[in-house]
Structures are given as C-alpha cells and as structure tokens.
Structure 1
Amino acid sequence: MRWPRLFNRTQPEPRPNAVRMLEGASGRRWSNTPAFGATGSEVLAGAAQVRGRARHLRFNDPTAVNAAEILKTALVGYGVTAASLAEDGARRETHDGEFSAWSERTGFGALLGEICDALVTDGEALLILRTDEEGALRLQHVPAEQLDESYSVELSAGRYIAAGIEYGADDEVIAYHFRPARPADQYQSFRAPLRVDAAEVIHIYRRLGAGQTRGLSWYAPVILPLNELSQLQDALAVNAKVQAMLTGFILDLNGNGPNPFGEASGALDVSLEPGVMRVLPQGFDVKFTSPQQMGQAVDLVAVGLRQIAAGLQIPEFLLSGDMRGVNYSSARTALVQFRAHIEAIQHATLVPALNRIWARWQLLETLRGNNSTATATPAEWHFPKPQWVDPESDASATREMLAMGLVSRRMAVAQLGYDVAQVDAEIAADRQRETALGLTFGQHHVEHKGAKP
C-alpha cells in the first residue's frame, strides 16, 4: 500500500495578499520600534552615555538615590565575612582572623560598598590588585571611564583591543588599557593608555548576553521613566503653588472710571482679612482666579514608581517608602523574591571576584613569610543575613536548621557578621565571670523559655 506524500518539496504558489502571522515580527504597532542589535555592540555604543545620565540621577534624584542605597545594602550590607575552608581547625581560625584584620586595616568593607554602588550606577567596577610598601595586598578601585572605551584596534597574531580590553587570538582577556589620571584631576586630558595585565585586574559586571565585554548601568531600563517622573513631580509642585496663589480682580462693569475703593486714604484697601465684610459700590464686581487642578495626579505618580521599581527589581514599598496597603504577607512575598534576586547576583557576580581577592591575599601573605598561608586554601563567603519583619521567627528557623544539621554554628554566626571563634571565646568568658560573681542570667533565661504557662 502506498501512502500519500505528506510534504511537497516543490515551492508553493505565491499568495499576493499573504502577510506575516507572527505578530512580533510584523504589525503597524512595531513600525516605530527599532530593532535591537547584538548585545555586545549595543552596550559598547551606549554604555558611556547611559552611565553619565545614571550618575546624574544617582546624585540628584531622590528615587534613584534610594534605589542605589537599597541595592548596595542588600548586596553587601555592613560587610562580607570570609570563612577559610582549610581542613585543620586551627588553620581555619588563623586564616579567618588574619583576613579579618587585613579587612579592617584596609577598609575592605567600605570598599565593597563602593564597588556595589559603582556596579549599580555605572554597571561595572574595576579593581587593580596592588601591593603596599610592606608587600601586603592593596585594592585600587578605578572609575569605569578610565578603561579607555575609545581604544579599539587590531593587533598582530590575532590579538585585538576592543573598548580598552585586550584579547588574545582565542578571545581570552589578556590585558586592560587604562587612561592615566589622578584622583584630583578636574578635567581629562589625553594621555596614552597604560597596559595592565589581566591577572592584576578584577572586572566586575553583570553579563546580559553573549559578546558583552563592558557593563551596563542597572538604571538603563528606568532612566527615561525616572526623568519623566521627576518632570511630572516638578509640574505638580508648580501646579500646587499656582493653586495656592489666590488672586482677585476688580471689574468695573459700567466703566465709570476710577476705582472708588479707599478714595479717602488715596490708596486701594481691598485686602482679604478674616471676618471682614465689604460693600461694593454699584457697578463693581470681584472675580477670583480658579486654577485647574490636575486630576488623578497621585495615581499617575504611583504608576510611575511601580514601573521604576519593576525595572530595578526592587519591591515598590521599599523604593517609595509608602507602606499603605502593605501587610505582612505581601511584604514577605515581595522580600523573598527580592532576596532571591540579590542572592543570585551575590554568588554569580561578587563571589568570583572575592575568590580572586582571597587567592591574591594568600599569595602575598605567603611571600611575606606567613607560614599559615603557604598552602593555597579556598574560602566561602557569608553575606549579612537579611533581617525579617519577625526576628523571633527567623531565630526559630535558624535554631531548627542547626538542630537538623542543615547549617553549622560557624555558618550561622558568620551570617551575622561575627567570627565563631571570637564569639565562643566571649561566651566562655561570660560564663566564667557569671560563675565567679554568682550570676545566673543564662540559666534564668533557659528556665523562663522552658516554663509552661
């Protein structure tokens, strides 16, 4: 039995009135929407201008300022704690203590906040790994514009430079070219860029697509809405001022000539005062201005804020500070989604950079004669634990996780920003002092928690 041919390989007859049925590829509504090119080229073409506008908003617009602070606090908070993964417990404590001392001496926590601010506003942060006079690690944060975006050239042996980044024949980053500048320079002048090996540079940015080599400001999707919202608020403020300016006009209906008000005093006496009753002469009337109020202005501002919050992936009530209509359940749902987004950025974008800092710190400490860092040991990073609306429930959840063996005390304490060895030592000292003085604070607390009503 022969089956009929299901697919005809010949070209179908053209239909004169055929149109595309995939609406995303056709339609009149898309006629004014330009096509978006490759991610890498689009970012290189517009990143500098977007960065400049984002910086203007970051330092001038209250909503943009609040967004930057929210994201920076959520990413690194008061600091990030390093926990050595050395097998020996004594070495772990030594590593943690030495790195904590280095962090405090160099202001590493404040630098992380600065890096996250640049990551949000500029879309990228650049660190150069240097050494101080004693041979210890020193981190230099370089502004994004110093990585020469105008420097693109073809080199020999398949190497090339694109937007200040030098690539090898296999498209691997091998160097960065920075414009030399001093922190006190007010105006940029041309200087030949300096080549810095890629091993000495940490380039932090979020990759949005294949081929992207430079970072794009996180404000990019909301720059226009932020600008429009700012103009709308200015217009509403001016409108409110105009409405507050009550102006009266005296109308001479009969055209009799001079205004008779205050003829005895020689001056007009028509001011408005509480409780004053005036009698107008025949043929005169008074008319007051009545500026038109802008209807639904509050709703329009709320929609704009909601759009900006969605573009920045921040809960609306955090961005606006307006807690009306927010309850515990809705706030918790929004915060869970926001924190999942933040954790993804922390572990995908920040942790790789922190690992390189840890490795370089170990190497330099070994070269300085520190035997505890002679063997390269990785580390894990504990970001500040987010505070919930109900701290008691959060503490109960931590206690349950400890009882189930899902986390260690070292991890739980690190999430609070403390070193477990130091905490244990302080607790032991407290217990010893309580016993010596006959105090029972801890025992009373346990009995109270275990008592039944």
Structure 2
Amino acid sequence: MNILDKAIGWIAPESGAKRARARVAMEMMRRSYDGATTGRRTDGWNTSGTSANAEIGPALARLRARSRDLVRNNPYAARVVDIWAANVVGTGIMPQSRTGNEELDKRTNALFRRWCEQCDAEGQLDFAGLQTLIMRTVVEGGEVLPRHRNRRPGDGLPVPYQVQVLEGDFLDSSRDSTLTGRRTIQGVEFDALDRRIGYWLFRTHPGDPYSVTAEGLTSALVPASEVMHVYRKLRSGQVRGVPWFAPVLLKARDLDDFHEAAIVRARMEACIGMVVTSTDDGGQNPIGIGSETENGRRVEGMEPGMVPYLKPGETVQFLNPTASPSFDPFTLHTLMAMAVGTGVTYDQMTGDLRQANYSSLRAGKVEFRRLVEQAQWQMLIPMFCAPVWRRFIETAVLSGALPAGDYPVEWATPAHEPIDPLKDMQADILAVRTGRMTWDHFVGLWGFDPKQQLADIARINAAMDDVGVTLDTDPRKVTKAGGAQQAQQGDPQDA
C-alpha cells in the first residue's frame, strides 16, 4: 500500500479495504494472464472492445474489394474458392420428401426436379448451380442475398417461383441508424424484438456503370420474408458477413510482391552478361585493337559466339547470378498460413503432394470434412436450401400442383471422395456390421437416397432372377471369395 492508500485507510477504513482488495485482484490478474500485461512485449498491440458490427461496418467494402482482386489475380486464392464450392456443394444438395406417403413423396420429388431446371431467375443455372454460385460468392465476398421471386401462373414454370442471387453489394450499408424509429444496422432493419423485418436493397448493382443514376443509387425496403441472407456467422449479433480471405489478405499480398521482386531480380541478372573495366592508357591505343565495331560504335551488347577486342588495360568480369536462398522457405510458410487461414489443407490449395502419404492426407481430410459439414448444415442448408423448399411447397400448394399438408424433408449432401477406396469401404462395412451406423446412414453418406437405393436393388435383383443371370457381385448367391452361397438352415429353398 502506498501513502495514499494508507491515508484513505486511516480516514475511511471501509474504502481503504475496498482499494486494497481491488489492488490484490489486479495483481492476481496480472499474474494469471500474460496476454493482459503491459510492457515491452505488448507495445504497439492495439486492441478494441467494439462489437462485431462496429468492426465489420467500416471495413466490409474494402475487404470485399480486395478479396475479389485476390481471387482474380492470385491462383491460390482462386483455388480456395473452387475447393470450398466443390466440397460443400459438389453436384448439388438435393431434398427428399418424407411425408410418409410413398406416392406423394414420388410426386413431390419429381415436381421439384422439374422445377430445379428452371429455378434460376436469370435462366442459366439449375438448383445445384445456384448453390455453387452462392457458395463461391460467400467465400469471396462474405455474404450473398438470394431473393424469392414469385412468377405468374402463365409463365410456363412447373411451379410459379424462381430464385434471384444478389451479391452483398446490393445491401445499402448507409442505412445505419435509428432515425426511422426502427433499428437499422448496415442496411438490415429490425423490430423491437431484434427480429429482421427488412433489407434495404439497391435496384441495381452499385458498381455497375449503368447504375450511376438517381434511380440506380436509390434503395428500397424489401420484406425479410423475401430475402435469404447467407453468410458465416462468427460472433453473436453479427449482422453482415466478411470474406473468408480476411485473415490472409496481407500475407497473400506480401507473397505476390515477393514473387514479383524475385522475378525482376532474375530478369536483371539474366540481362547482364559481363562488366568491362578499363584503366587510362595515356592515349596509347594500338590501331586495329579496340572495343569498337566496324562502324566505330562501342560494343554494348553480347551475342552468342561473339569475340570482342579490348583496349589495353580493359578487363572482363563475368557475372554469375545467384538464386535467393529465402525464396522456397518464405513461399512455403506463407502458403501454409494462407491454407490455414482459409480453412483448407496445404495440398488442396497448392496441389503439392511431394511429401504426402495416406496417413497425412487422411488426417487433413478428416478435419476439413468437419468444416465442410459445418458449412453445409449450419449455413447453406438452413439459410438457403430450407427456405427455398418452404417457398417451393407453399407456392406449389397455392398453384394446385400439390395438395395441402406438411412436407417434411431430408437433405442429401454430396459424398466425400475416399482417399483409399478399398480401406474406406472396408471401414464402412465394418461400421455397419458392428452397429456403429445403420445401412441408411451408410447409403446417405455416399450421397444416395436409401429408399430409392432399396427400390433399385430390388428391381435389379428381380430382373437378373427373371433371366437366370448370376453375377459375382450378387451377395445373395455368391460369397466374397467368389464361391456359391450355402443355403441357410430354415431357408424355404431347403424344403
């Protein structure tokens, strides 16, 4: 306790005790958390306690622009976008109706497949293509705003409904206040219970040269029920999404600058072949010997097989270009940091498999698959696929294409390609035989509908039995070793 503490304790013992307890608590905190200390090691470490929206608001536009520039010009960044889209979406995340009525489920699924071919408001992509576009936009730009678009019954669609994909630029970030009586955060409007009730959207893309008009730069409030806001939510209360390249933008920029500098240096070294050093010969220069050409000009360039004649006192020093010893280590560690920061593995981003083996590839892919499943089940399906299914069913019922009622749904995600097909299949078979997972789960992991799979197996087996064909792949009649199956005790065929 210092003199002030002792004085306060003598005049007001209770206040002095509070000061002493607070001082002890601060000392214990200082001892417990090195990261909370101040000193030489933490000088220049500027932090803030602002909310997610306060951090994202002023930085989002610049982050998005730089991320798009990186994807356009950096091959590794472009590869990251492809990897995420290919693994999360693949050939498409498709729904399967589960009403319990087999005929109704078949009718619903068939209608949805027909609608998928014409679901794009721009008329170019199917449902799987829209999912891929949305996933690419989320990784590159941080967020995307698919919008429900109701159509007229006479438009010739299986269900009068389509989806329009809008980039995050359409959201008017200048709408950020409470002047309207409702809380608006970066273009998203909330009610008194913090529920989203609307989005302030521009009529055209603000970066389009044709939108630089009074009408193009005017935003209008669109009900939240008509917009699907898809982004990765990292903090509680976060309203907007950030590009997935945000943690690695500077490292990727440094890598590009480093490669450019290395290339310029290599070009300069390759252009300089030798250096000619001369001394003053006092004007004594024998006739016929010199570094001039026939027309009297000095030799300032080299050609293959050229033999220059030098003046007395001139010497030639040839240059030996040397490669930078830090090029490979710097590139390797920067690429590894970029892979970690974007959630992919190093071999996926670079295609470098020189030191990879089955164990290392499997360990990396297992972790990556967990991230892929999170993106599927915690972002793309609840924020886009499920709302599209609900609007599709609602519109189909209103248009008379389907009867009224509940339409539960199951989503089939694309299968993960095995690293070693034989080992992975053997592990899956053992898991089913031991009861760790069911046969339905096993089929679903490979991206198929278990009910449809059973129907196809029964149809194929019946067709082979009708024509008397037995294939080596028929487990009913052929063992794993290729021999005939023995009839089990109690089998009706034994009678």
Distance across 2 between alignment mates of 1:118 and 1:349: 13
Residue 391 of structure 2: aligned partner: 360
* Residues 83 and 381 in structure 1, CA contact (< 8 A), matched pair in contact too: yes
Q: Read off the aligned partner of 1:168 and give its amino acid letter.
A: D
Distance across 2 between alignment mates of 1:144 and 1:348: 19
Which sits farther off after the overlay, 242-251 or 110-119?
242-251
Q: Read off the aligned partner of 1:219 and give its amino acid letter.
A: F
The SS at the match of 2:239 is coil
Matched, 1:245 2:245: no
Identify the match of residue 34 of structure 2 among 23, 48, 54: 23
Q: Where do 5+ consecutive residues of structure 1 fail to align? A: 1-7
Identify the match of residue 168 of structure 1 among 191, 200, 207: 191
* Residues 359 and 376 in structure 1, CA contact (< 8 A), matched pair in contact too: no
**TM-superposed deviation, 1:100:** 2.5
Residue 351 of structure 2: aligned partner: 321
**TM-superposed deviation, 1:431:** 4.8
The SS at the match of 1:30 is coil
Normalising by structure 2, report the TM-score: 0.79
**TM-superposed deviation, 1:87:** 2.2
| Corresponding pairs, count | 440
Map Cα deviations across residues 386-434 of structure 1 (whole Å, 9 max, x no partner).
1121112223333344445665655544544455566556555655665
Counterparts in 2 of 1:240 and 1:259: CA distance versus 1, 3 Å: farther
Residue 4 of structure 1: aligned partner: none
Which sits farther off after the overlay, 136-145 or 426-435?
426-435
Q: Read off the aligned partner of 2:482 and give its amino acid letter.
A: A
Counterparts in 2 of 1:12 and 1:401: CA distance versus 1, 3 Å: closer
Matched, 1:119 2:141: no
Residue 492 of structure 2: aligned partner: none
Map Cα deviations across residues 293-344 of structure 1 (whole Å, 9 max, x no partner).
3222101110111111111121111112111221111111111111111112
Aligned residue runs from structure 1 range 360-439, under 5 A: 360-372=391-403, 374-404=404-434, 412-419=442-449, 427=457, 430-431=460-461, 434=464, 439=469
Residue 209 of structure 1: aligned partner: 235
Distance across 1 between alignment mates of 2:242 and 2:293: 73
Distance across 2 between alignment mates of 1:96 and 1:438: 34
**TM-superposed deviation, 1:288:** 2.3
The SS at the match of 2:252 is helix
**TM-superposed deviation, 1:273:** 4.1
Counterparts in 2 of 1:130 and 1:442: CA distance versus 1, 3 Å: farther
* Residues 81 and 417 in structure 1, CA contact (< 8 A), matched pair in contact too: no
* Residues 291 and 310 in structure 2, CA contact (< 8 A), matched pair in contact too: no
Aligned residue runs from structure 1 range 207-356, under 5 A: 207-255=233-281, 256-257=284-285, 260-261=289-290, 265-266=294-295, 271=302, 273=304, 283-353=313-383, 354-356=385-387
Counterparts in 2 of 1:263 and 1:227: CA distance versus 1, 3 Å: closer
Which sits farther off after the overlay, 278-287 or 325-334?
278-287
**TM-superposed deviation, 1:169:** 1.3
The SS at the match of 1:41 is helix
Q: Structure with the greater relative contact order (CA < 8 A, sep ≥ 6): 1 or 2?
A: 1
Alignment RMSD: 3.2
Normalising by structure 1, report the TM-score: 0.86
Q: Where do 5+ consecutive residues of structure 2 fail to align? A: 1-15, 120-125, 154-158, 484-495
Residue 110 of structure 1: aligned partner: 129
Counterparts in 2 of 1:405 and 1:133: CA distance versus 1, 3 Å: farther
**TM-superposed deviation, 1:193:** 1.2
Q: Read off the aligned partner of 1:294 and give its amino acid letter.
A: S
Map Cα deviations across residues 182-203 of structure 1 (whole Å, 9 max, x no partner).
7994343243312111111111
